[in-house]
Amino acid sequence: MKTTRYFDALRTRPDRAAIRDEWIERTIQAPVKENAQADGRIQRWAQIPEAESRYLRVVLLADGETVHNAFFDRRFVP
């Protein structure tokens, strides 16, 4: 999985360290929703049953494969 240095630094935070790579990959491969940002980045969401069914948001660079951010999105409504 390709990542940005920004994302690598974020992974040291306690609230982000619990997010598993497999959940990120699942969100990239099978999102329930996808949105393109004005800057070209791509947002994808997926429900993660193993994490109390919360929704994970993964932000990719415009290449569609490099992970820039990943977090549980409390505001997401499917």
Tens of pLDDT along 27-75?
A: 999 999 999 999 999 999 999 999 999 999 999 999 999 999 999 999 9
CA dihedral sign of residues 73, 19, 9, 14 = positive
19 has a pLDDT exceeding 90: yes
With CA atoms as reference, report the closest residue to 34 among 4, 1, 5, 64: 64
φ, ψ of residue 19 to 5 degrees: the values are: -80, 120
